[in-house]
């Protein structure tokens, strides 16, 4: 009969290889996430500036409409 059980040394070596692969995978994921996050943050900043400009324009329009709706004291 053949013994299919792993020795303690084989199990330890397998565990070490798995941990090394997990470590490499984690580093790769973090690196790729950072790339994505930088581009996402850039897009968010651009959108924030656009929205701020739109809010400013809306305030000016509301002011002008308010002046048109209010009877002037001429």
Asked if the model's pLDDT at residue 1 lies above 90, the reply is: no
**pLDDT tens for each residue of 18-51:** 999 999 999 999 999 999 999 999 999 999 999 9
Alpha carbons 74 and 68: distance in angstroms, whole number:
13
pLDDT of 72 > 70? The answer is: no
Q: For residue 3, what pLDDT band results from cuts at 50, 70 and 90?
A: confident
> Which residue in this structure is represented by tokens 């002037």?
72
CB 30, CB 22: distance < 8 Å: no
Smallest Cα–Cα separation from 29: which of 40, 17, 41, 21? Answer: 21
């Amino acid at each position: 009969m053949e013994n299919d059980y792993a020795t303690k040394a084989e199990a330890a070596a397998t565990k070490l290889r798995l941990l090394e692969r997990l470590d490499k995978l984690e580093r790769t994921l973090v690196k790729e996430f950072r790339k994505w996050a930088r581009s996402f943050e850039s897009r968010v900043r651009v959108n924030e500036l656009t929205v701020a400009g739109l809010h400013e324009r809306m305030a000016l329009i509301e002011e002008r409409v308010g002046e048109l709706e209010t009877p002037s004291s001429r």
